[in-house]
Amino acid sequence: MRPTLAAHLISLARKAVRNGLLTHHQFVALECLIWEIRERGADRVQCSYKRLMKQAKVCKDVAVGAIKAGIALGLLRKVKHKTLTLWTNGGRKWQQEPNEYVFCCESAEQAQYPKQVIKILSIIPAEAEIRSAQAAMEARARVIQARLLNKGAALPSG
Protein backbone atom coordinates (compact mmCIF):
# COMPACT_ATOMS: atom_id res chain seq x y z
CA MET A 1 0.00 0.00 0.00
CA ARG A 2 1.40 3.34 -0.98
CA PRO A 3 1.69 6.10 1.64
CA THR A 4 -0.87 8.17 -0.25
CA LEU A 5 -3.45 5.38 0.19
CA ALA A 6 -2.59 5.13 3.88
CA ALA A 7 -3.06 8.89 4.18
CA HIS A 8 -6.40 8.55 2.38
CA LEU A 9 -7.55 5.92 4.91
CA ILE A 10 -6.50 8.23 7.75
CA SER A 11 -8.44 11.12 6.22
CA LEU A 12 -11.54 8.89 5.96
CA ALA A 13 -11.10 7.96 9.62
CA ARG A 14 -10.76 11.67 10.53
CA LYS A 15 -14.05 12.39 8.75
CA ALA A 16 -15.64 9.57 10.74
CA VAL A 17 -14.40 11.22 13.96
CA ARG A 18 -15.92 14.54 12.90
CA ASN A 19 -19.23 12.82 12.10
CA GLY A 20 -19.25 11.01 15.46
CA LEU A 21 -18.83 7.50 14.01
CA LEU A 22 -15.43 7.03 15.63
CA THR A 23 -14.04 8.25 18.95
CA HIS A 24 -10.72 10.01 19.20
CA HIS A 25 -9.14 7.05 21.02
CA GLN A 26 -10.38 4.63 18.33
CA PHE A 27 -8.90 6.94 15.70
CA VAL A 28 -5.55 6.85 17.52
CA ALA A 29 -5.66 3.02 17.56
CA LEU A 30 -6.47 2.86 13.82
CA GLU A 31 -3.73 5.40 13.07
CA CYS A 32 -1.27 3.28 15.06
CA LEU A 33 -2.37 0.19 13.14
CA ILE A 34 -1.80 1.92 9.79
CA TRP A 35 1.41 3.85 10.47
CA GLU A 36 3.27 1.99 13.21
CA ILE A 37 2.29 -1.68 13.18
CA ARG A 38 1.90 -2.17 9.42
CA GLU A 39 5.11 -2.97 7.61
CA ARG A 40 6.16 -0.54 4.91
CA GLY A 41 4.45 -1.32 1.61
CA ALA A 42 2.10 -3.97 3.04
CA ASP A 43 -1.65 -3.67 2.63
CA ARG A 44 -2.39 -6.00 5.54
CA VAL A 45 -1.19 -6.50 9.10
CA GLN A 46 -1.37 -9.43 11.49
CA CYS A 47 -1.81 -8.03 14.95
CA SER A 48 -3.25 -9.14 18.28
CA TYR A 49 -5.40 -6.89 20.43
CA LYS A 50 -2.70 -7.00 23.09
CA ARG A 51 -0.07 -5.64 20.70
CA LEU A 52 -2.43 -2.93 19.45
CA MET A 53 -3.27 -1.94 23.04
CA LYS A 54 0.38 -1.72 24.00
CA GLN A 55 1.50 0.18 20.90
CA ALA A 56 -1.41 2.65 20.80
CA LYS A 57 -1.55 2.96 24.63
CA VAL A 58 -5.30 2.30 24.77
CA CYS A 59 -7.46 -0.15 26.72
CA LYS A 60 -8.84 -3.38 25.28
CA ASP A 61 -12.36 -1.99 24.77
CA VAL A 62 -10.97 0.85 22.67
CA ALA A 63 -8.77 -1.49 20.60
CA VAL A 64 -11.69 -3.85 19.92
CA GLY A 65 -13.99 -0.90 19.19
CA ALA A 66 -11.45 0.60 16.78
CA ILE A 67 -11.21 -2.64 14.80
CA LYS A 68 -15.00 -3.06 14.75
CA ALA A 69 -15.50 0.55 13.69
CA GLY A 70 -12.82 0.24 11.00
CA ILE A 71 -14.59 -2.82 9.61
CA ALA A 72 -18.00 -1.12 9.79
CA LEU A 73 -16.66 1.96 7.99
CA GLY A 74 -15.09 -0.17 5.28
CA LEU A 75 -11.51 0.74 6.14
CA LEU A 76 -10.54 -2.81 7.17
CA ARG A 77 -11.41 -6.42 6.51
CA LYS A 78 -10.76 -9.12 9.09
CA VAL A 79 -9.21 -12.50 8.21
CA LYS A 80 -9.25 -15.09 11.00
CA HIS A 81 -6.36 -17.53 11.31
CA LYS A 82 -6.79 -20.89 13.03
CA THR A 83 -4.39 -23.79 13.33
CA LEU A 84 -5.40 -27.42 13.74
CA THR A 85 -2.68 -29.54 15.28
CA LEU A 86 -3.09 -33.29 14.82
CA TRP A 87 -1.31 -35.58 17.25
CA THR A 88 -0.30 -39.13 16.38
CA ASN A 89 -2.47 -40.69 19.09
CA GLY A 90 -5.61 -39.23 17.53
CA GLY A 91 -5.75 -36.03 19.55
CA ARG A 92 -6.30 -32.63 18.02
CA LYS A 93 -6.03 -29.04 19.13
CA TRP A 94 -7.53 -25.92 17.56
CA GLN A 95 -5.68 -22.71 18.24
CA GLN A 96 -6.70 -19.17 17.31
CA GLU A 97 -3.82 -17.09 15.96
CA PRO A 98 -3.83 -13.29 15.81
CA ASN A 99 -6.27 -11.96 13.23
CA GLU A 100 -5.04 -10.40 10.02
CA TYR A 101 -6.49 -7.06 8.99
CA VAL A 102 -6.55 -6.09 5.33
CA PHE A 103 -6.72 -2.39 4.57
CA CYS A 104 -9.35 -1.64 1.93
CA CYS A 105 -7.57 0.08 -0.91
CA GLU A 106 -7.53 -0.35 -4.67
CA SER A 107 -5.74 -3.69 -4.86
CA ALA A 108 -6.83 -6.40 -7.28
CA GLU A 109 -5.36 -9.15 -5.13
CA GLN A 110 -7.43 -8.08 -2.10
CA ALA A 111 -10.62 -9.54 -3.55
CA GLN A 112 -9.00 -12.97 -3.32
CA TYR A 113 -8.27 -12.79 0.44
CA PRO A 114 -10.27 -15.44 2.28
CA LYS A 115 -12.30 -14.62 5.37
CA GLN A 116 -10.73 -17.48 7.31
CA VAL A 117 -7.41 -19.29 6.97
CA ILE A 118 -6.93 -22.73 8.51
CA LYS A 119 -3.51 -24.36 8.78
CA ILE A 120 -3.23 -28.05 9.58
CA LEU A 121 -0.10 -29.22 11.37
CA SER A 122 0.65 -32.86 12.00
CA ILE A 123 3.07 -33.57 14.78
CA ILE A 124 4.90 -36.88 14.40
CA PRO A 125 6.98 -37.88 17.42
CA ALA A 126 10.58 -38.99 17.03
CA GLU A 127 11.56 -42.65 17.53
CA ALA A 128 13.33 -41.84 20.81
CA GLU A 129 10.14 -40.26 22.18
CA ILE A 130 8.11 -43.32 21.18
CA ARG A 131 10.59 -45.71 22.83
CA SER A 132 10.73 -43.68 26.05
CA ALA A 133 6.91 -43.49 26.21
CA GLN A 134 6.62 -47.24 25.67
CA ALA A 135 9.23 -47.91 28.36
CA ALA A 136 7.38 -45.67 30.80
CA MET A 137 4.10 -47.46 30.05
CA GLU A 138 5.72 -50.88 30.59
CA ALA A 139 7.25 -49.75 33.90
CA ARG A 140 3.87 -48.42 35.02
CA ALA A 141 2.21 -51.73 34.05
CA ARG A 142 4.78 -53.64 36.15
CA VAL A 143 4.11 -51.42 39.18
CA ILE A 144 0.35 -51.90 38.84
CA GLN A 145 0.74 -55.69 38.52
CA ALA A 146 2.96 -55.81 41.61
CA ARG A 147 0.40 -53.83 43.61
CA LEU A 148 -2.41 -56.13 42.49
CA LEU A 149 -0.40 -59.24 43.41
CA ASN A 150 0.37 -57.79 46.86
CA LYS A 151 -3.31 -57.00 47.45
CA GLY A 152 -4.30 -60.52 46.43
CA ALA A 153 -1.81 -62.04 48.92
CA ALA A 154 -3.04 -59.80 51.74
CA LEU A 155 -6.70 -60.86 51.35
CA PRO A 156 -7.85 -63.60 53.73
CA SER A 157 -9.10 -66.70 51.98
CA GLY A 158 -12.32 -67.88 53.20
pLDDT tens, position by position, 56-102 = 999 999 999 999 998 888 888 888 888 887 776 767 788 888 888 88
Is the pLDDT at 139 greater than 60? The verdict is yes
pTM, two decimal places:
0.61
Q: Which of 104, 12, 28 is nearest to 66 (CA)?
A: 28
What is each CA distance from 96 to 29, 48, 92, 99, 156, in whole angstroms? Answer: 22, 11, 13, 8, 57
pLDDT of residue 157 exceeding 80, the answer is no
Cβ–Cβ under 8 Å, residues 102 and 77: yes
Q: How far apart are CA 133 and CA 115, in angstroms?
A: 40
Residue 109 has pLDDT above 50, yes or no: no
Contact 45, 58 (CB under 8 A): no
